[in-house]
């Protein structure tokens, strides 16, 4: 955990530290990194924090996850992120996994992946939210969208230091979720509306201003 935080701290110092208030040493270094990528991240992400050590042994391994504010177990249904106009959620990350031989670019990519989820669930991207399609379809659709977004950003050089094998992993994850979605939904009335945006990853980058806050809900695909 210490090594992971040292890596994150060093990266944050090399980024735009002015994103955090002067003299504020309490801001998580991963949150500083996210702010360096997206100064508007606070509109969609309430906090970025490490997975509590007390919970680390009781959950399935994760790199990062978007959860509802204050949640500690990313695998619990009750931790599912909020969705709807004005939604803000937390990003949980496992410093041990991040320190396991990964590049600084991989950390940036994962943070951007969760940022995209946060914006998507808040209705602040051009990508529609799947509704009433079932938990499995929602899961693969949202993951294919987020991995497709980060692949496109990686190709644009958004994550300095990202290794070719890490880029390949992101590309593979995009492909895995796309194929899983296709195997479930192909042939259904919903397939064409689900497939079309996933084949245009450039559209993921175009984002819209946040809508006014409204009633929040849990997406049915809560077990990401």
Is residue 199 predicted with pLDDT exceeding 90?
Answer: no
94 and 53 share one domain: yes
10 and 92 share one domain: yes
Model pLDDT, residue 141: 92
14 in a domain, yes or no?
Answer: yes
222 in a domain, yes or no?
Answer: no
Expressed as residue numbers, the domain containing 157 is 135-205
76 and 15 share one domain: yes
Predicted TM-score (pTM) of this structure: 0.80
77 and 158 share one domain: no
| Structural domains in the chain (count) | 2
92 and 16 share one domain: yes
114 in a domain, yes or no?
Answer: no
In tens, the pLDDT along 90-118 reads 999 988 766 678 898 999 999 999 999 99
- Highest average pLDDT, of 157-161, 192-196, 207-211, comes from 157-161
Is residue 43 predicted with pLDDT exceeding 50?
Answer: yes
73 and 156 share one domain: no
Q: Residue 78: how many CB atoms within 10 A of its CB?
A: 10
96 and 46 share one domain: yes
SS3 per-residue string spanning the chain? CHHHHHHHHHHHHHCCHHHCCCCCCCCCHHHHHHHHHCCCHHHCEEEEEECCHHHHCCCCCCCEEEECCCCCCCCCHHHCCCECCCCCEEEEECHHHHCCCCCHHHHHHHHHHHHHHHHHHCCCECCCCCCCCCHHHHHHHHHHHHHHHHHHHHHCCCCCCCCHHHHHHHHHHHHHHHHHHHHHHCCCCCHHHHHHHHCCCHHHHCECCCCCCCCCECCCCCCC
51 in a domain, yes or no?
Answer: yes
Identify whether the C-beta of residue 45 lies closer than 8 Å to the C-beta of residue 115. Answer: yes
Ramachandran area for residue 23 (φ above 0: left; ψ -120 to 50: alpha; else beta) = left
Two structure tokens written together for 63: 């790199």
93 and 151 share one domain: no
Is residue 171 predicted with pLDDT exceeding 50?
Answer: yes
Is residue 71 predicted with pLDDT exceeding 80?
Answer: yes
Percent of the chain past pLDDT 70, that is, above it, reads 72
110 in a domain, yes or no?
Answer: no
6 and 94 share one domain: yes
183 in a domain, yes or no?
Answer: yes
41 and 94 share one domain: yes
89 and 144 share one domain: no
Between residues 58 and 96, the one the model is more confident about: 96
Model pLDDT, residue 24: 52
**Which sign does the torsion angle of CA 147, 143, 1, 43 carry?**
positive
98 and 48 share one domain: yes
219 in a domain, yes or no?
Answer: no
Model pLDDT, residue 160: 95
Two structure tokens written together for 34: 């996210």
201 in a domain, yes or no?
Answer: yes
């Amino acid at each position: 955990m210490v090594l992971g935080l040292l890596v994150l701290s060093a990266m944050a110092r090399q980024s735009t530290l002015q994103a955090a208030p002067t003299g504020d040493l309490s801001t998580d270094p991963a949150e500083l990194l996210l702010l360096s990528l997206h100064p508007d991240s606070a509109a969609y992400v309430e906090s970025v924090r490490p997975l509590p050590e007390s919970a680390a042994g009781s959950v399935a391994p994760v790199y990062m996850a978007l959860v509802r504010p204050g949640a500690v177990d990313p695998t619990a249904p009750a931790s599912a992120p909020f969705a709807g106009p004005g939604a803000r959620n937390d990003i949980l990350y496992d410093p041990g996994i991040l320190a396991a031989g990964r590049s600084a670019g991989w950390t940036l990519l994962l943070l951007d992946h969760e940022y995209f989820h946060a914006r998507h669930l808040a209705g602040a991207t051009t990508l529609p939210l799947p509704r009433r399609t079932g938990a499995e379809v929602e899961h693969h659709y949202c993951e294919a969208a987020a991995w497709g977004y980060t692949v496109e950003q990686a190709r644009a050089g958004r994550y300095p230091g990202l290794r070719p094998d890490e880029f390949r992993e992101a590309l593979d994850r995009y492909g895995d979720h796309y194929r899983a979605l296709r195997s479930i939904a192909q042939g259904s009335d919903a397939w064409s509306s689900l497939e079309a945006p996933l084949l245009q990853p450039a559209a993921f980058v175009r984002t819209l201003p946040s809508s006014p806050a409204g009633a929040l809900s849990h997406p049915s695909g809560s077990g990401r």
